[in-house]
Structure 1
Amino acid sequence: MNPIGKNALLLALIAVICVLLLSVLNQLTAPRIAEQRLANRLALLHDVLPAAQEQQLLHDCVLISAPEWLGSTQPQAVFRWREQGEVSAYVVETTAPDGYSGAIDLMVAIAPDGTVLAARTLAHQETPGLGDKIELRKSNWMLGFNDKRVQPDDLRPWAVRKDGGDFDQFTGATITPRAVVGAVKRAALFIQQHPELADAAANCEGV
């Protein structure tokens, strides 16, 4: 076999070995990654809805495809918290697609009447020192959503002050808070206008 052929065979062999190693590594780490994701989700569920039992929320959940409301073409999870058999709150995973540096994933607890109980940031790529104030460990700005109700006939308050609303923007960064306020507002409107969610069959076991 000529040198070129030998080198090609060697590279092919190395490539196969690398693929096998990656496959084995993925199999070994997948359970740990899944456990960590579940732990993070449980912690955040408890954070936005302290009175609820996280495991019950995980088992009473529906996947919703509603990009016009929830900001993503991928199905989003909506968890339901029931008291005496009636839904008293929803925890919605939603996305602000129009963040300054990309999509911002959020988790929002919402009462059936459209009152936002709490909102937290799941993931983002906003600028450190500016847009990252949507993280609770960096700023208490997200607490401004607590107990605010979305009124479909008067959405004016649901905007940053620069746009005539009630929410503060960040110094040097208006796009990020504007995107988050819009996403939380749409999630609350979605819950208000879709009462059938209370009776939808749970279908996101293990998500």
Structure 2
Amino acid sequence: MKQSMQRNGLILAAFALVTTGLIALTHTLTSPVIQDQEQRQLQQTLNSIIPPQLHDNDLEHDCTIVTDAEYLGNVLPKRVYRARMDGQPVALAMETMTPNGYSGDIRLLVGVNSDGVITGVRVLQHQETPGLGDKIELRIDDWILSFNGRRLTEENRASWAVKKDGGQFDQFTGATITPRAVVGAVRQALAFIQQRQDELFGAPNECQAGTGDQDE
């Protein structure tokens, strides 16, 4: 009986060791592929809000990292990518988020040119209800494009809200919470950039090629 238990224990230990080894091997083999896919996705998203013809620098490898819970949704660090042409500032693409989505956090990327005009907004991650709140995704609806070309001023600040709240942005039928959260997050991100644009462009580069990206 004792020998049988020992034998079974050895078999289980060997099985666990082999399983752990296979998991480690799989991670080693797939990690570069996943990182490459993530990098390509980042490039595509950045290019969608700041077109390549507007800058001559390597956008995804020119960034600074900021934190500001009041303007950017939480205390976690956010990347701000800098677009330049001949070394001159052209536009910024800043990560931000809102915890006020219907189903939780919504992560965004907001592009703003040097004149304070939005060049584009994209949703990076969300858990909103399919068929309702997920209309913030461009692949589902073009609502997110309603930010293009807008700026924030003291005169129009009140209009940065959904129409149900007296603003200029459409809400979704049966889903007001999600667009309200996104509009608020974009407004705050735009205000942050307006206040710190020169500082953001002048900050040291924290995303240089070959140094590895920092995680939130």
TM exceeding 0.5: yes
**Is residue 2:65 matched to residue 1:63?**
yes
Indicate conservation of the 8 Å contact 2:110/2:120, yes or no.
yes
Residue 95 of structure 1 aligns to a residue whose secondary structure is strand
**Is residue 2:194 matched to residue 1:200?**
no
**Deviation at 1:72?**
3.7
**Is residue 2:39 matched to residue 1:38?**
yes
CA distance in 2, matches of 1:28, 1:72: 34
User: Equivalences for 1:1-207 in 2 at 5 Å?
Assistant: 1-50=2-51, 51-53=53-55, 56-152=58-154, 154-194=156-196, 195-205=198-208, 206-207=212-213
Identity %: 45
**Deviation at 1:5?**
4.1
CA distance in 1, matches of 2:117, 2:158: 16
> Do the aligned partners of residues 53 and 113 (structure 1) sit closer, same or farther apart at CA in structure 2, a change above 3 Å counting?
closer
Number of residue pairs matched by the alignment: 207
Whichever residue aligns with residue 160 of structure 1, its letter is: V
**Deviation at 1:2?**
4.4
Measured on the aligned residues, the alpha-carbon RMSD in Å equals 1.9
Runs of at least 5 residues in structure 2 that lack an aligned partner in the other structure: none
> Do the aligned partners of residues 34 and 3 (structure 1) sit closer, same or farther apart at CA in structure 2, a change above 3 Å counting?
same
Q: Identify the range of structure 1 (140-149 vs 48-57) with the bigger mean alpha-carbon deviation.
A: 48-57
TM-score (norm 2): 0.88
CA distance in 2, matches of 1:55, 1:102: 35
> Do the aligned partners of residues 98 and 3 (structure 1) sit closer, same or farther apart at CA in structure 2, a change above 3 Å counting?
farther
Q: Identify the range of structure 1 (37-46 vs 85-94) with the bigger mean alpha-carbon deviation.
A: 85-94
